[in-house]
């Protein structure tokens, strides 16, 4: 009999990309503020992994390298967005 033990992963590299467009016109929305938030605990405690803005074509990329401690849960992410003059108070993305 052979038993192979596989350790739980501790190194994570997470990337999210996308593009913001106006509904109807399909025009890119630039300077969208993006907050890439990480949670590794219960109850939830959010850490800021990255803050960035969309470019003049509406594109964005957020990235996080994270080393998990043995007592922590696997990272879960929320992408929170803020666009000036838009009401997005109830909109966020779970990753």
Domain boundaries, the chain: 11-86
**What pairs with residue 46 in β-bridges?**
39
pLDDT at 7 over 80: no
Q: Is the pTM value of this prediction over 0.85? A: no
List Cβ neighbours of 87 (8 Å cut-off, separation of 6 or more). none
Give 54-71 pLDDT, tens digit per residue. Answer: 999 999 999 999 999 988
pLDDT at 3 over 80: no
CA–CA gap between residue 49 and residue 38 (Å, rounded): 6
């Amino acid at each position: 009999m052979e038993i192979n033990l596989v350790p739980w992963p501790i190194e994570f590299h997470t990337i999210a990309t996308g593009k913001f467009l106006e509904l109807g016109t399909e025009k890119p929305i630039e300077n969208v503020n993006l907050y890439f938030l990480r949670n590794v605990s219960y109850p939830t405690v959010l850490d800021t992994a990255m803050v960035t803005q969309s470019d003049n074509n509406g594109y964005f990329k957020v990235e996080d390298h994270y080393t998990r401690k043995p007592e922590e849960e696997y990272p879960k992410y929320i992408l929170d967005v803020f666009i000036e003059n838009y009401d997005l108070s109830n909109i966020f993305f779970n990753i």
